[in-house]
Amino acid sequence: MGQWYNSIPDGGCIPIQENSMRKPSFALVMLALALVIVTLPAAAQQNAADVAAAIVRLENSWADAQKAGDAAKVAPMLAESFVNTDVDGNISGKSQLLSNLKGGKWEHNAISDVKVTVYGDTAIATGAWAGKGVDGDVTRIDRRERWTDAWVKMSDGKWQCVASQQSAVKK
């Protein structure tokens, strides 16, 4: 291909290649890259807000199911490797927690002050719980607790709780 010439202000000409007109300029490439970099954090923040809202909904569903003694509703929320540490330091797994949940009879059971922090495919939820009634192992309960739940986004895209811990709050 032949060369083309472009005029410059001092009256001279500079040679340019015919196909050079088709190449994106460095400035254009940098502008596109800057736009991508600027929009990524905003998208991540929106995604984190969506995840946090979904975890809050899961926590509320869990509390409602606990009050109703509906273990079937809670089961899919818990990973098979789920570990619970209760206010007395006792450790239990998924099956024991679900068994205890079935036998509970609650006059009052509510969560509040739920906060969620998202770290990629992990979310940490904290909150307060107040309950009055009988839990699944027929222990009379009338107390307040602070709790922490660790949620992980599994390979199927669903969020499951992998660990839960409760601490009693003095009245």
Alpha carbon 84 to chain centroid distance?
Answer: 19
**pLDDT tens track for 128-169:** 999 898 877 767 888 899 999 999 999 999 999 999 999 999
Reading the block at residue 113, the tokens are 């002050």
Q: What was the pLDDT predicted at 136?
A: 72
**pLDDT tens track for 29-40:** 666 666 666 555
Mean pLDDT, rounded, of the chain: 83
Q: Is the pTM above the cut of 0.85?
A: no
Q: What was the pLDDT predicted at 22?
A: 58
Say which CATH architecture domain 23-169 belongs to: Roll (3.10)
Strands 91-93 and 78-85: antiparallel
14: pLDDT strictly greater than 70: no
Confidence band (pLDDT; 50, 70, 90) for 17?
Answer: low
What's the one-letter identity of residue 51? Answer: V
Q: What percent of the chain is predicted at pLDDT more than 90?
A: 54
Other residues' Cβ atoms within 10 Å of the Cβ of residue 52: 17
The CA distance from 163 to 150, in Å, is: 5
Could you give the maximum distance between any two Cα atoms of the chain, in Å? 97
The CA distance from 140 to 34, in Å, is: 60
What's the one-letter identity of residue 138? Answer: V
